[in-house]
């Protein structure tokens, strides 16, 4: 089981800030910005290239839900979403996740 599947299963601890049937949002353990969250679909798949209709609905749900959470996550002033895909992007966890960065003016 991958590290995010273990977090979703409650087998390893995380700082969870939101959960519903499709996804969880946790704090990244190595924050790259003042606020750095990971939005993680509960279904395990690694890449957008593995998308099908059901997974597209899950990703759509994540993208629709995140703006609703922005106040409680301290992101009212803006935020950046990043999805690393594969080696050149430095993807280290092969379970699709959306980085959510903000809480300050980001450097680029
Ligand atoms: P990526 O490089 O896009 O695959 O991002 C993986 C992210 O997961 C990195 O920013 C890590 O800091 C983060 N990460 C890895 N393990 C954990 C964990 N146990 N809890 C929270 N974040 C994690
Ligand atoms: Zn997984």
pLDDT over 90 at 3, yes or no: yes
Sheet of 98-102, strand order: 16-19, 23-27, 35-41, 98-102, 79-82
Q: Is 87 a pocket residue for ligand 1 (Cβ < 6 Å)?
A: no
Q: What is the pLDDT of residues 5-34, one digit of tens each?
A: 999 999 999 999 999 999 999 999 999 999
Instruction: Tell me what percent of the residues of the chain surpass a pLDDT of 90.
Output: 99
95 assigned to active site: no
| Per annotation, catalytic residue among 44, 61, 95, 97 | 97
Cβ neighbours for 60, distance < 8 A, ≥ 6 positions apart: none
CATH class of 3-76: alpha beta
Q: Is 88 a pocket residue for ligand 1 (Cβ < 6 Å)?
A: no
Q: Is 105 a pocket residue for ligand 1 (Cβ < 6 Å)?
A: no
Q: Could you tell me the two tokens for 102?
A: 């903000």
pLDDT at 53: 98
Please give the model's pTM, rounded to 2 decimal places: 0.97
Which pLDDT band, with edges at 50, 70 and 90, does 91 fall under? very high
pLDDT at 108: 87
Instruction: Give the residue extent of every domain in the chain.
Output: 3-76
Grouping H, G, I as helix, E, B as strand and the rest as coil, residue 18 is strand
């Amino acid at each position: 089981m991958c590290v995010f599947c273990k977090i979703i299963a409650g087998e390893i601890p995380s700082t969870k800030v939101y959960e519903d049937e499709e996804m969880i949002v946790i704090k990244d353990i190595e924050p790259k910005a003042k606020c750095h969250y990971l939005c993680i679909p509960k279904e395990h798949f690694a890449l957008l290239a593995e998308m099908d209709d059901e997974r597209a609905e899950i990703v759509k749900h994540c993208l629709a839900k995140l703006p609703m959470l922005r106040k409680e996550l301290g992101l009212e002033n803006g935020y950046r979403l990043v999805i690393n895909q594969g080696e050149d992007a430095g993807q280290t966890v092969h379970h699709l996740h959306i980085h959510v960065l903000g809480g300050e003016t980001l450097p680029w």
